[in-house]
Copies of this chain bind each other. A is one copy, B any other.
Amino acid sequence: RLLLNHPVAELIAVTSRQFAGKTLAEVFPRFAGRTKAGQLRFSDSKPEKISSAAEFIFLALPHGVSSGVAKVFLDKGLRVIDLSADFRLRDPAIYKEFYGDDHLAPELLKEAVYGLAERYRTQIADARLVACPGCYPTSILLPLLPLVREKVVLTNSIVINSLSGVSGAGRKVEADYLFAECNESARPYGIPKHRHLSEIEQALTAEAGEEVKVQFVPHLVPMNRGIISTMVMDVAADVDESEIEAVYKESYKKDPFVRLLGNSALPDTKNVAGTNFIDMSWRMDPRTDRLILTSAIDNLVKGTSGQAIQCLNLMCGYPETAGLW
């Protein structure tokens, strides 16, 4: 959807084994009626055969697969925007710990840039290989990074609870994600060690300059889109709400997709649905002296594909918001 509507970038090829030969519009009837969606057909070409006219490729493949094909495209001179987990971690040992397999292209891990645009804007602009963050990490790192960097919170006290709509599970055809199993159901899962912990802690550790471990509990709730993350933590001595606010205002003063809600309004997934925004609030609890952060994103946009387009815009020198308003 985002590429079909992009004002500058042109979509010239799409690939799929399952849907090879069909047009975009046939596979996704919601796109019918748009000229390009009726013309562009999925091909099942091998990476080597994909149109040499392309300058960029988006890889939306399972982890363990992206790492096997990225190099082919890089070698052909394409720049790669990867939406899998394969290039998010710097350390192949941690990749193996969390994803279970040896990494297929460890030599690329150093080069890959973590595609959190608000934090790594400059690096993304020059990157050959961008690893788009996971949906949970996006909703968690944007609120946490500035506070960790400025050392206003105690990093060993961070407890994170997240709520995700069901599309977060992708389009997996499993009984757990059937309508009647998800509707009227809320449930925690992935306790105690969800895979996204690895990239959350890697980014926080880098920002803090010391090892950070956090508590993270994700939940599935019955809606299509959206993530809420609620983060509770102790603050450094004498830190108050005004200091938190000052850090955020300074950190995100030029970021078109960060909306700072302040200390009274609270985020709601419906306010970010279909958009690339992240909504963030902060509030000190005077009873406990803890800080409570909350954030909302659309897991399919800011949490995945919107963020990927944001990276594309940076890499191409387009306006950062092109195709994303």
Asked if A222 and B223 sit within 8 Å, CB to CB, the answer is yes
Asked if A285 and B215 sit within 8 Å, CB to CB, the answer is yes
A39 to chain B minimum Cβ distance, whole angstroms, is 15
Question: Across the interface, which residues of B come within 8 angstroms of A274, CB to CB?
Answer: 274
A23 to chain B minimum Cβ distance, whole angstroms, is 13
Given A215-B232, A271-B29, are A223 and B287 also a contact pair (CB < 8 Å)? no
Question: Across the interface, which residues of B come within 8 angstroms of A182, CB to CB?
Answer: 179
Asked if B179 and A224 sit within 8 Å, CB to CB, the answer is yes
Chain A 245-285 near chain B by CB (<8 Å), digits 1 or 0: 00000000000110101000111111111110101000111
Question: Bound state CA distance, A171 and B178, in angstroms?
Answer: 8
Asked if B30 and A275 sit within 8 Å, CB to CB, the answer is yes
A113 to chain B minimum Cβ distance, whole angstroms, is 25
Question: Across the interface, which residues of B come within 8 angstroms of A163, CB to CB?
Answer: 163, 186, 219, 221
Among A85-93, A188-196, A307-315, the stretch in contact with B: A188-196
**Does A33 belong to the interface (CB within 8 Å)?**
yes
Question: Bound state CA distance, A325 and B2, in angstroms?
Answer: 12
Question: Bound state CA distance, A268 and B28, in angstroms?
Answer: 11
Chain A 221-243 near chain B by CB (<8 Å), digits 1 or 0: 11111101010100000000000
Asked if A29 and B265 sit within 8 Å, CB to CB, the answer is yes
**Does A174 belong to the interface (CB within 8 Å)?**
yes
Question: Across the interface, which residues of B come within 8 angstroms of A12, CB to CB?
Answer: none
**Does A166 belong to the interface (CB within 8 Å)?**
yes
How many copies are assembled? 4
Query: Interface size of A by Cβ–Cβ distance < 8 Å?
Result: 74
Q: Which residue of B lies closest to A168 (CB)?
A: B180
Chain A 2-46 residues near chain B, CB threshold 8 A: 5, 29-30, 32-34
Among A67-75, A141-149, A288-296, the stretch in contact with B: A288-296
Most chain-B Cβ atoms within 10 A of its Cβ — which of A30, A179, A270, A283?
A179
**Does A53 belong to the interface (CB within 8 Å)?**
no
Asked if A222 and B219 sit within 8 Å, CB to CB, the answer is no
**Does A125 belong to the interface (CB within 8 Å)?**
no
Binding site for B on A (CB under 8 A): 5, 29-30, 32-34, 159, 161, 163, 165-167, 171, 173-175, 177-189, 191-193, 213-215, 217, 219, 221-226, 228, 230, 232, 256-257, 259, 261, 265-275, 277, 279, 283-288, 290, 292, 294, 296, 325
9 other contacts beyond A165-B186, A177-B180, A187-B296, with CB at 8 A cut-off?
A166-B179, A173-B174, A179-B222, A184-B224, A187-B267, A188-B228, A189-B266, A191-B292, A193-B287
Q: 10 tightest A-B contacts by CB?
A: A192-B285, A161-B161, A179-B182, A187-B268, A185-B270, A166-B179, A30-B271, A221-B221, A159-B159, A29-B271
Q: List 20 A-B contacts (CB under 8 A).
A: A5-B325, A29-B279, A30-B273, A173-B178, A181-B270, A183-B223, A186-B296, A187-B268, A187-B296, A188-B267, A191-B285, A192-B284, A192-B287, A192-B288, A192-B292, A193-B285, A193-B287, A213-B288, A215-B288, A221-B221
